[in-house]
C-alpha cells in the first residue's frame, strides 16, 4: 500500500531511497504523527532566517525584518496551538456533528469530503452497529459485480495512518491475495456506498491507501488477516469530524476543490478525444449524475476515471467506464467509487441499469485510457 501499485501487505519490496537516512527520519516522523507539524515549523524557521538576513543587510527593515518576524511569530503560535489541541487534545469537548437526513442524494455525495481530523470519542453503539450492518450488506456476494469475495472488516484500533489524526475506527477493505480487477473495483463500489450512508449519518470518513502503514494493519487485524490468503486494498477511517486540525491539513483540504472539468472526464468516443457537452439536451435527464462522479474521492485526487457516453436514438443508453492510468489498485478503486456514485444518482432519478462487461470493447483499447466496465441502461 505504500505506492500507487499498492503492493500486498505480505510481500513488500523496497525502493532504493527507502534505505537512506533522510527517508528513515521522514518515515519515523510520519508514522509517529509528527510530520504534519514539520512544514509549519520549517516555514517559521525560514521566516526567522529571512529576518536575520534582513537585519544583516540593514535596509528596508520593516519589510525584510519586521514582516518575516511577524509571520514567524504567527506560524510559531499556530504550531503551539495545533500541537496543544490536536496532538494533546487540549480543547473543550466538541459537539456531535449533525446527521444530514434531508439532503438529497446529490447534495449528500457533494457534502462528502475526506475528513482528516477526528474527535477524541468513539462512535456511538448505534452508529457502530449501523456501520457494521452496512459494510456487511454491501459487501455480500450478491451485491458485488465480480465473483471473487471481498470483506469490509470493522476494526477499532489506533492504526498508523497518515496524515489523518485521531482516527481510531476503520473499515478495512480486504480482497483475495491473488489479483482480480473486479474485486478491487467492488471494494471501491461497495465501500463508497457505506461512505455515502455514513455521510448521511453525520460521520466523517477518509479513504486511506498510501497513507496507511501495512504492518500496523496486519498487527491489529490479528487472526482476521492471513497474508497467504488476503490482501488489504485500503482502509477507511470513520468517526466524528473535529474542527481542530494541523495547519497542513487545513491547507490540504483545499485540494478537494481542484476537480477536472466535466469535459476532461466524460467523452463521446473510446479514444477520449471528443469531450462530452454536459449541456446537450440528450444528457439533461441525467441531471447531476455527472457531477456526482466528478466529486468522487480518488487517491491523491488523481481523478483517473473516464467515462464514454453511448447515444442511441437520441437517448443515453450506455456509459463505458475507463481508467486513465496503469495503476492496478487505486485507479480501479476510484473507478469503483465512480460506479457507486453513478448508480446512486441514477437510482435517485429512477433510471434503471446494470453493470456489464463488453468484451469486444476490451480488445479495442490496448492502450490508455483502458476500458473496464459499462453501465447498460434498462430497455
Ligand atoms: C483509494 C483512495 C486512497 C486514498 N488514500 C489517502 C491517503 O492515504 N491519505 C489521505 O489523506 N487521503 C487519501 N485519500 C483521499 C484523497 O486524497 C481525496 O479523496 C482527494 O484528495 C479528494 O478530496 P475529497 O475526498 O475531500 O473530495 C484516498 C482516496 C482514495 C479513493
Count Cβ atoms within 10 A of the Cβ of residue 150 and give its class: 0-12 exposed, 13-18 middle, 19 or more buried.
Answer: buried
240 and 270 part of one domain: no
127 and 231 part of one domain: yes
Instruction: Give the nearest ligand 1 atom to 298 CA.
Output: 31
CATH value at residue 290: 3.40.109.10
Q: Are strands 204-208 and 353-356 parallel, antiparallel or unpaired?
A: unpaired
181 and 313 part of one domain: no
- 98 lies in a domain? no
196 and 303 part of one domain: no
- 123 lies in a domain? yes
Helix (H, G, I), strand (E, B) or coil at 34: coil
- 21 lies in a domain? no
135 and 45 part of one domain: no
Domain that holds residue 324: 258-377
203 and 121 part of one domain: yes
DSSP E strands in 217-329: the ranges are 230-239, 266-267, 305-312, 315-323
Q: Using CA positions, which residue lies closest to atom 20 of ligand 1?
A: 301
**What is the rounded CA–CA span in Å between residue 33 and residue 22?**
17
119 and 239 part of one domain: yes
Give which of 211, 118, 201, 205 is closest to 167, Cα–Cα.
118
Domain total of the chain: 3
- 8 lies in a domain? no
- pLDDT tens per residue across all 379 residues of the chain: 433 434 444 344 677 888 899 999 998 898 888 998 999 999 999 999 998 888 888 777 777 888 999 999 999 999 999 999 999 999 999 999 999 988 999 999 999 999 999 999 999 999 999 999 999 999 999 999 999 999 999 999 999 998 999 999 999 999 999 999 999 999 999 999 999 999 999 999 999 999 999 999 999 999 999 999 999 999 999 999 999 999 988 988 887 789 999 999 999 998 889 999 999 999 999 989 999 999 999 999 999 999 999 999 999 999 999 999 989 999 999 999 999 999 999 999 999 999 999 877 766 555 789 999 999 999 8
Instruction: Give the nearest ligand 1 atom to 233 CA.
Output: 1
- 96 lies in a domain? no
Ligand 1 neighbours (beta carbon < 6 A) = 113-114, 116, 163-164, 206-211, 234, 255-256, 297-301, 330, 333-334, 337
Q: What is the pTM of this model?
A: 0.91
pLDDT digits (tens, 9 = 90+) for 147-178: 999 999 999 999 999 899 999 999 999 999 99
Q: Using CA positions, which residue lies closest to atom 13 of ligand 1?
A: 208
Amino acid at each position: 500500500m505504500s505506492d500507487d501499485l499498492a503492493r500486498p501487505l505480505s510481500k513488500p519490496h523496497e525502493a532504493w531511497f527507502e534505505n537512506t537516512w533522510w527517508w528513515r527520519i521522514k518515515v519515523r516522523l510520519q508514522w509517529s504523527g509528527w510530520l504534519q507539524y514539520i512544514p509549519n515549523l520549517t516555514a517559521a524557521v525560514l521566516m526567522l532566517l529571512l529576518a536575520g538576513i534582513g537585519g544583516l543587510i540593514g535596509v528596508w527593515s520593516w519589510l525584510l525584518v519586521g514582516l518575516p518576524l511577524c509571520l514567524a511569530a504567527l506560524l510559531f503560535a499556530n504550531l503551539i496551538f495545533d500541537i496543544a489541541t490536536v496532538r494533546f487534545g487540549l480543547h473543550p469537548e466538541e459537539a456531535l456533528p449533525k446527521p444530514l437526513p434531508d439532503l438529497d442524494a446529490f447534495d449528500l455525495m457533494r457534502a462528502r469530503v475526506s475528513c482528516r481530523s477526528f474527535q477524541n470519542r468513539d462512535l456511538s453503539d448505534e452508529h457502530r452497529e449501523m456501520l457494521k450492518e452496512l459494510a456487511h450488506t454491501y459487501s455480500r456476494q450478491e451485491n458485488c459485480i465480480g465473483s471473487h469475495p471481498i470483506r469490509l472488516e470493522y476494526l477499532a484500533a489506533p492504526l498508523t495512518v497518515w496524515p489523518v489524526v485521531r482516527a481510531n475506527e476503520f473499515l478495512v477493505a480486504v480482497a483475495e491475495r491473488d489479483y482480480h480487477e473486479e474485486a478491487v473495483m467492488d471494494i471501491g463500489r461497495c465501500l463508497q456506498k457505506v461512505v455515502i450512508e455514513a455521510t448521511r449519518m453525520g460521520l466523517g470518513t477518509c479513504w486511506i491507501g498510501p497513507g496507511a502503514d501495512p504492518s500496523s494493519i496486519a498487527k491489529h487485524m490479528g487472526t482476521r488477516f492471513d497474508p497467504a490468503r488476503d490482501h488489504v486494498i485500503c482502509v477507511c477511517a470513520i468517526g466524528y469530524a473535529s474542527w481542530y486540525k494541523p495547519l497542513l491539513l487545513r491547507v490540504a483540504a483545499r485540494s478537494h476543490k481542484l476537480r477536472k472539468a466535466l469535459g476532461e472526464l466524460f467523452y463521446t468516443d473510446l479514444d477520449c478525444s471528443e469531450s462530452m457537452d454536459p449541456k446537450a439536451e440528450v444528457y439533461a435527464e441525467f441531471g447531476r449524475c455527472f457531477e456526482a462522479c466528478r466529486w468522487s474521492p480518488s487517491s491523491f485526487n488523481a481523478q483517473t476515471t473516464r467515462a464514454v457516453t453511448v447515444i442511441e436514438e437520441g437517448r443515453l443508453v450506455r456509459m463505458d467506464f475507463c481508467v486513465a492510468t496503469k495503476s492496478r489498485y487505486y485507479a480501479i478503486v476510484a473507478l469503483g467509487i465512480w460506479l457507486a456514485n453513478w448508480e446512486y444518482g441514477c437510482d435517485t432519478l429512477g433510471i434503471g441499469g446494470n453493470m456489464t462487461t463488453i468484451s469486444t470493447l476490451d480488445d479495442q483499447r490496448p492502450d490508455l485510457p483502458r476500458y473496464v466496465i459499462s453501465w447498460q441502461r434498462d430497455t
